[in-house]
Chain A
């Protein structure tokens, strides 16, 4: 708490949030202006400038960007779809098997800590330069995350609920469907939220290593040609993509949480 500023809660925002927004706009504008200036009269090629970057993006939006964007998104979604479903499934099943979970747990925890993305070159070696190695990589990374989360969640299902259904005469399968699965759903959604950024990292890493298409490829190509403008342009696009994905993940979680809160 700064000495010059008293503890004036909302009072401090006489101008409310408008003040903050003005500062933000001023800051960004200032930075961009400085960059532009430096780019034109100072740094030379290494620096580029906002105007050129925006220009490049606009040109790309005319058509060239889309195949690469879709490649990346495609790899991401395929990989996530496979990894999430397999991970959740295996996690659910194994999570309800006490023997298996006891034995496997330390092994899984040990494996979990290994940075899986470093396996990327391996998969490229196996599967070549196409989409497949990246999809496999993303699937595996996602699989482990989802598996771990779901596994933990499945183990922690409240026994009371299960017993209630048991007394009603529900079969093991019905119990599974009606109690275990929904209860674990929260963990699964949580797992997806965590997995999303990792999946993106895995995708981009794969593309940086070897590929003919995708945002990572654009970066690679730009770097080879020392084309800073394109490089910055892709970084900006990636930034936007990352933000979009995390926003989506949050919305998804909210949707699920609402259900959960209502049920409780």
Chain B
């Protein structure tokens, strides 16, 4: 074994394993881009092959289904309109709820941000609603608003509302009091302070909140469709499952996965673009980044 030399003090967290010396051939292979992508592809291919061809009893095969069957179903759906109808519905509900939730959340957030007294009074009330799993409201909304889209939109809106509200309040609160003071002494009216300072200063926080809210809007829409709906991707999953159509259920889930991955990709591109733009202005106290959301 090679003698151990003391290289203490770097402290930087590095990937474990590399003993500061020679890398094994395997490690070297995997540090290349081709190596990594290649191995992932191999992994995925292996999983698919096993899934497709593993010699399992009939019953198990029924529960497992297979990639070919699933792809077949997806193909059919693609052409008979199923996917588009349900996907469209999901996206529609998601966007409507999102827009309403954001508008209300930002508006209310500004209100609470200006009047800290008001926000302190309402704090416990808001915290209680925050703690409630919003999905539990789904049946209530269905009773109040019917099985159609309105109840789903309402649920999404409520979920998004709370998220964006919190971010907006944080943004407004984060504005440096000295800045506001300086403007007050110049004779700025409250409207002028809002227009010229508060809105802009709170923007990074608001955007962060809005980005996080997209994920929640998607998830909540799907959940609402699971519980009570007659269209949408979530409904499709529920329908297939209810009919013990395993292939259909997997196919629907596959669509959800694809949408989800696309959504994440879109959001991270957006985040990159925004932080590039943000660099120019480097806000004094940076807003929280979308860590694990």
**Cα–Cα distance between A125 and B14 once the two chains are bound (Å):** 44
Residues in A neighbouring B12, C-beta threshold 8 A: 159
Q: Which residues of A contact B215 (CB under 8 A)?
A: 113
Q: Which residue of A lies closest to B264 (CB)?
A: A113
Taking CB atoms, residues of chain A closer than 8 Å to B227 are 205, 208-209
Closest B residue to A232 using CB positions: B140
C-alpha spacing A121/B249, complex, angstroms: 9
* Residue pair B11, A160 in contact (C-beta under 8 Å): yes
Choose one: B43, B139, B222, B253; the contact of A220 (CB below 8 Å).
B139
Q: Which of B76-84, B115-123, B200-208 contacts A (4 or more CB under 8 A)?
A: B115-123
Does B256 make an interface contact (CB < 8 A)?
yes
Interface bin, chain B: 35 or more
Task: Using A103-B36, A243-B127 as known contacts, say yes or no to A1 and B15 having CB atoms under 8 A apart.
Answer: no
B144 smallest CB distance to A (angstroms): 7
Q: How far, in whole Å, are A239 and B134 apart by their CA atoms in the complex?
A: 10
Q: Which of B238-272 contact A (CB under 8 A)?
A: 238, 240-242, 244, 246, 249, 253, 256-257, 260-261, 263-264
Closest A residue, CB atoms, query B225? A118
Category for how many chain A residues contact B: 35 or more
Asked if A115 is at the interface (CB within 8 A of a chain B CB), the reply is yes
Query: Measured between alpha carbons, how far is A215 from B253 in the docked complex, in Å?
Result: 27
**Bound complex: CA of A162 vs CA of B11, how far in Å?**
10
User: In the complex, what residue of chain B is closest to A216 when comparing beta carbons?
Assistant: B136
Q: Is the CB of A98 within 8 A of B15?
A: yes
Q: Interface SS of chain B: helix, strand, loop or mixed?
A: helix
Shortest beta-carbon distance from A106 to chain B in Å: 7
Q: Does B156 contact A (CB under 8 A)?
A: no
How many Å from the CB of B26 to the closest CB on chain A? Answer: 7
Q: Is the CB of B184 within 8 A of A1?
A: yes
Q: A159 is contacted by which of B6, B14, B129 (Cβ under 8 Å)?
A: B14
* Residue B58 interfacial (CB < 8 Å): no
Q: Is the CB–CB distance between B27 and A99 below 8 Å? A: yes
A-B contact pairs, 25 of them (CB 8 A): A3-B193, A7-B181, A20-B120, A20-B121, A103-B43, A107-B44, A113-B215, A114-B261, A115-B223, A118-B222, A118-B223, A120-B226, A125-B242, A155-B15, A159-B14, A160-B9, A163-B6, A166-B4, A194-B292, A204-B135, A205-B227, A209-B227, A223-B142, A242-B131, A243-B127
Q: Nearest 7 pairs between A and B by C-beta?
A: A242-B131, A121-B241, A223-B139, A98-B17, A115-B219, A113-B264, A156-B13
- Interfacial residues, chain A to chain B (CB-CB below 8 A): 1-3, 7, 20, 23-24, 27-28, 46, 96-99, 101-103, 106-107, 110-111, 113-115, 117-122, 124-126, 145, 148-149, 155-160, 162-164, 166-167, 194, 197, 200-201, 204-205, 208-209, 215-216, 219-220, 222-223, 226, 228, 231, 234-235, 238-239, 242-243, 245-246
B residues neighboring A (CB under 8 Å): 4, 6-18, 26-27, 30-31, 36, 39-40, 43-44, 63, 114-115, 117, 120-122, 124-125, 127-129, 131-140, 142-144, 177, 180-181, 184, 189-190, 193, 215, 218-219, 222-223, 226-227, 234, 237-238, 240-242, 244, 246, 249, 253, 256-257, 260-261, 263-264, 292
